[in-house]
Structure 1
């Protein structure tokens, strides 16, 4: 049809032009030649346009299908009646959990970039609004042992792939390659770190045993669980899918439920007017703020929790059965490590997958990985015995769209008044009357901040330490049983476990437990930093750069001890260490590629110690040198540190954040 219309228009133009120039034969033939050239160029342009259009249509068939869910209407439909809420949601990181690739969505600014994955070159380049990767076939790349890639004689840059899907935007952006199997998506080997503004291998952004093979991931089997609104994997074979989602990202209906009935019911202006006059909520839509604390928290918990899929087949073809306002107890059941007896099928599975719990929980059942805040919060007395919910501290919409305050809100989506101890003191009014009497710290001290003692940074994720969402009290007994660093010694880096145990006994009546004999003379943080497993080393290295801890412990003595972790076998530990070291005077220019080679790590550690020695006079030494493995206030005990590092826990870790 388009071709016929094109020819008719061309003939009409030719006839009109012929009539206009019929008075002069020379102009007539010149015009005819011009028309022929124009028609040829136009036809060629149309051919290219049609070919490109068909190519893009075919490409979109390789991406998850959006909008194919009954009863869901999409966030665009919500905007007309709820513009303010839509605006703040659109500015949030929930919206960008999964997006189609475009120049506007990708935060990295480049036309073409050359990368290197274990010796194999990869090139990324833009062609208009399409992002292309020139690289080896992913199947070959991820199935070849890492040690063999650099030695391979296979010609590089043999294939081109268009990247159409991406996840994340807050801390990093991850990209996906269509696998060619339906619309299944396979991980692209590099991701973009937003804070550092650099591309790094995806495998190096997780706290994962470096001896493990490539970190190959399937978006359709993993990310779809929490990074879209109502996703259905829809496998068509062991490797192929026809995945469908209601909407990419975490959109309005992820929290408010399917809105088709709500939209249909409120088409009438009269009903909308009547509804505004009623005190009870609109029954056609869910507002989490109107639910009890358990059900409102489950709205968040559908993504921010550790779950067990009890009916895999049902999930694969229908997605999760949970809907906001209901309970998380159908085919997506919350796992509480403290109550595994309530889920016998999980107990059975754990026996077959012994790492399942260890890669997610501390030994006492406290969550140790990020993104699982609901699982932590439900273990808190404030939730179990009170009415604490996610919405006690967080809000999903900002009241002042487009302001600087909203920009700050985007980070954690905290209510403005909940950024400090007010979050706790809204319930604990008796403590609010005299905070220092409870904390035994001055009111201005970070030790009087409720969060620092009761929600310490003992959760790992996103290459940093994150606050635990299980509200707890510092306990020396628990710290000894689980190996988990306690809040007191994560702030007082230069103090021993014995020092902490004595204060907890004096201030709060906690019986002082028997302590390992070698813990008495040396600060607890040194044990964690030098002897701990990779997860504990990462948390401790982060605290060595945490400003409240540096203020409480003195600054400067940490540098030569921390420098050794630049050579840690885990790339995530090296990254955290480098970031913490840069927070010290004179080390802002530290250049160390945490994804590089062991020789460069050693050189960086040596440079750090040399810089530290040159600035000794400007930084006070430790108040008690022996507690932090120093011989004197200006000389660290290199031999002792090396001896302790040889005792490092090398147990394999793969934290499932």
Structure 2
């Protein structure tokens, strides 16, 4: 389902710092990960006396200025009684008694004064944070452009953005507690109480300080204070993110803030790995293009771990200074630190030296604007593929610059200059999986040379298609995969497909070494199709699962997950309440609206169900499943005309819905329109070649049209797909008799 783009706030493409304590490599002191249980946070200023150079580089960096108390130094915007108006809503910025204020409309459209408590970010834009009564803090939707020195609106393209909507400034999309602060402050604890819908959010330091990356430093400071220069041979206290980390481990630790992910724990305790605290978002629509290129904000990690750079040992620190966060070199000189000089020639890129077209990043790191004016580059470092644009309508770097040219022109240019063959890339197969043959997803999954996150995405997509029991059970091998992403996605696949046959193989994952996998395993055992009686280790994993649901209950997606959990427990009343809360948090969260509509229909509340489906269509007119469900609803009510109309529309919308095609074909055949039924079946089969149900109804249509040779071919394909179905053998015998007449 395509949802409106969610705002995320000022997560700059900068990288976590690493502090080398008195050069431990020189002294023979190698720091370990994870501070002690007793270590406490003592503040960045305590680091300055020993690490003056590093502190100087960090000071006034994006990390240092991620968040500040609002004062005459930190506030960049024009608060001299300035009025900014956007689509009829005014924002007045002014000062009073030395403090900074904003006057604008509240959730009900009533204008009020709000005192600015914090500044949020500084370049290329700065937002302002105000306090709400329930412990929630909200970020302004009118932001200051610190490059062009003007006010602008963060959501200029929404003409119908209403007061109180999720995307508006009073909605949870603009909640500092929910959306921002975990990565903009140090030692953050969200402390959300879903029962009272209130926050008691705390932090030890307002910005991304030294300890945000290295963990609590009280033991570290005490050790070096006690032993001063006499620590030769002693073992210092453990430090999170010490110097000398392996590249992949460093990237994993930076991912904590530089990734699109959901939280699994109330706070990050500097123990374990990324997937012990967060569930990464796979590179899939609508956050990414279907080939893995960036679309919505991904904060680098989800792109970077797709790249050959990552898999060849390159990490954040190779390009960025780890304390100032600035690039180590400018322009192509940075790339030439690793790549041979022949890449920096006209013979390689076929552009004039010194022009934009000769810049490595413009070809291999095309970017997009987020937050209105913040340009961020795709870190998957891929080779431009205009041929994929021609065939599958995905973007390519060539046409990012050559907007006046077609993708076909760019593709022909690449063939002319580089030859007709392109190096194998996972995107070739992912695109074919989406548009030609879903078995290409299986090909990607099985190829261990491809990135783990892409293989996990392929597994997810592969199990969205109808699979035989044998095909599905063959995937159980991935429950033991070395990759956390794939292991976790394998559990989700068996949950999604309601497969209880692998219960005994999923049970060991309840005590997996990584929390995200344990939580997914607990989720699987909470489903009604699985008997969890006597399953060891369930209770401990389930406690983590339930805690994760409570932590995320301030999101519409979190309430949606709670609703599904309650449904599985046959607590329909609680499920309805959670779905309503999800829609209240985000009025466009149509996953909950769809599920709630089905509950209402099952309860006989047909009008309420119909209204919800129609609301989804109003908000997402291209979403096929709302039309499909309305088609079924009207069929149940005996309104054949409306039913067929909505099923027909469902077949014309996205995403592809094989069930919509199947039901529409059945209704066409009930009317005796076998010719149209076969035409519709052919469209479905083009998108899902081995769909048994659609092939079967196509077979019925062909037989009734007396097109026996075509029917024979289809029937033989059905026998290949399901050789145990004796009916197919009987039908083939009857077809052959007609062919022999």
TM-score normalised by the shorter chain: which range applies?
0.5 to 0.7
- CA shift, 1:458, in A, is 4.9
Query: Aligned partners of 1:115 and 1:430: how far apart in 2?
Result: 50
- 1:456–1:468 CA contact under 8 A, matched in 2: yes
Shift of 1:171: 1.7
Normalized against structure 1, the TM-score is what?
0.52
Distance 1:287 1:297 in 2: 10
Q: Deviations over 1:555-609 (max 9, x none)?
A: xxxxxxxxxxxxxxxxxxxxxxxxxxxxxxxxxxxxxxxxxxxxxxxxxxxxxxx
Indicate yes or no: 2:318 matched with 1:392. Answer: yes
| Contact 1:421–1:450 (8 Å) recurs in 2 | yes
**Could you list the per-position Cα deviations for residues 480-510 of structure 1 after superposition, in whole angstroms to 9, with x for gaps in the alignment?**
3553332222233333323322222233233
Q: Quote the Cα distance in structure 2 between the aligned partners of 1:460 and 1:281.
A: 45
Change (3 A) 1:479 1:273: farther
Quote the residue 2:131 is aligned against. 178
- Match in the other structure for 1:504: 414
Per the alignment, in what secondary structure is the counterpart of residue 203 of structure 2? strand
- Once the two structures are TM-superposed, the CA of residue 288 in structure 1 deviates from its matched residue by 5.2
Query: Which residue of structure 2 lines up, in the alignment, with residue 436 of structure 1?
Result: 346
Identify which of 418, 428, 451 aligns with 2:361: 451
Q: 2:327 aligns with which of 414, 419, 427?
A: 414
Match 2:63 to one of 94, 107, 110: 94
Residue aligning to 2:150: 198
- Specify whether residues 139 and 414 from structure 1 end up closer, same or farther in structure 2 by C-alpha distance, changes over 3 A only: same
Offset at 1:126? 1.8
CA distance in 2 between partners of 1:133 and 1:448 (Å):
45
- Matched position secondary structure for 2:408: helix
**1:316-355 alignment runs, 5 A limit:** 319-322=267-270, 327-337=273-283
The correspondence for 2:378, drawn from 456, 460, 468, is: 468
User: CA distance change for structure 1 residues 505 and 187 in 2, over 3 Å: closer, same or farther?
Assistant: same
User: 1:189 offset after TM fit, Å?
Assistant: 4.6
Could you say what secondary structure the match of 2:277 adopts? Answer: coil
Alignment partner of 2:114 out of 139, 154, 161: 161
Partner of 1:290: 244
CA 128–70 in structure 1, closer or farther in 2 if over 3 Å, else same: farther
Q: What is the CA distance between 1:243 and its match in structure 2?
A: 0.4
Check 1:396–1:114 CA distance in 2 against 1; reply closer, same or farther (3 A cut).
same
Query: 2:215 aligns to what?
Result: 257
Pairwise CA distance, 1:298: 2.4
1:234 aligns with 2:203: no
2:309 is aligned, of 352, 360, 382, to 382
The SS at the match of 1:451 is: helix
Question: 1:28-67 to 2 correspondence within 5 Å?
Answer: none
Matches within 5 A, 1:574-613: none
SS of equivalent residue, structure 1 residue 358: coil
Q: Select 2:140's aligned residue among 182, 188, 201.
A: 188
Match of 2:394 among 484, 491, 514: 484
Matched, 1:358 2:285: yes
1:76 CA displacement: 1.7
Task: Tell me the equivalent position of 2:73.
Answer: 104
Query: Would you say how many aligned residue pairs link Structure 1 and Structure 2?
Result: 381
Structure 2 Cα separation of the partners of residues 201 and 466 of structure 1: 19
In 1, Cα distance between equivalents of 2:97 and 2:400: 50
Contact 1:458 1:484 in 2 (8 A): no
- Unaligned 5+ residue runs, structure 2? 1-37, 423-652, 655-741
Query: Would the alpha carbon gap of residues 438 and 202 (structure 1) be closer, same or farther in structure 2, given more than 3 Å must change?
Result: closer
Runs of 4+ in 1 over 6 A off after TM superposition: none
CA RMSD across the alignment? 3.3
Partner of 1:248: 206
Q: Structure 2 vs 1, CA of residues 320 and 238 (structure 1 numbering), >3 Å: closer, same or farther? A: farther
Distance 1:246 1:171, change over 3 A: same
- Paired with 2:270 and 2:236, the residues of 1 have a C-alpha distance of 20
> Alpha-carbon deviation of 1:296?
1.2
With the length of structure 2 as denominator, give the TM-score of the two structures: 0.47
Q: Give the secondary-structure state (helix, strand or coil) at the position aligned to 1:126.
A: strand
Measure, in 2, the Cα distance between the counterparts of 1:459 and 1:225.
23
Query: What residue is the counterpart of 1:140 in the other structure?
Result: 108
Distance change (3 Å), C-alpha of 1:321 and 1:335:
farther
User: Does the C-alpha gap of structure 1 residues 378 and 281 become closer, same or farther in structure 2, counting only changes over 3 Å?
Assistant: farther
Aligned counterparts of 2:126 and 2:205: Cα–Cα separation in 1: 19
Q: Check conservation: 1:393, 1:423, Cα contact below 8 A.
A: yes
Please state how far the C-alpha of 1:88 moved relative to its aligned partner.
2.1
For residues 376-396 of structure 1, give each alpha carbon's deviation from its aligned partner in whole angstroms, at most 9, with x where no partner exists: 111001212x01111110013
Given that residues 369 and 461 in structure 1 are in contact (C-alpha distance below 8 angstroms), is that contact kept between their aligned partners in structure 2? no
Conserved 8 A contact 1:176-1:186: yes
Counterpart Cα distance in 1 of 2:349 and 2:86: 50
Query: 1:246-285: CA deviations, max 9, x gaps?
Result: 2222111122222122112111253x4546xx8x996533
Cα deviations by residue, 1:355-413 (Å, 9 ceiling, x for unpaired): xx4342111122223461122111001212x0111111001335xxxxxxxxxxxxx61
Deviation at 1:201, TM superposition (A): 3.7
Give the whole-Å Cα distance in 2 for the aligned partners of 1:173 and 1:420. 26
- In 2, the alpha carbon distance for the partners of 1:273 and 1:90 equals 29
Q: 2:141, 2:154 within 8 Å by CA — same for their partners in 1? A: yes
The answer as to whether partners of 2:240 and 2:270 remain within 8 angstroms in 1 is no
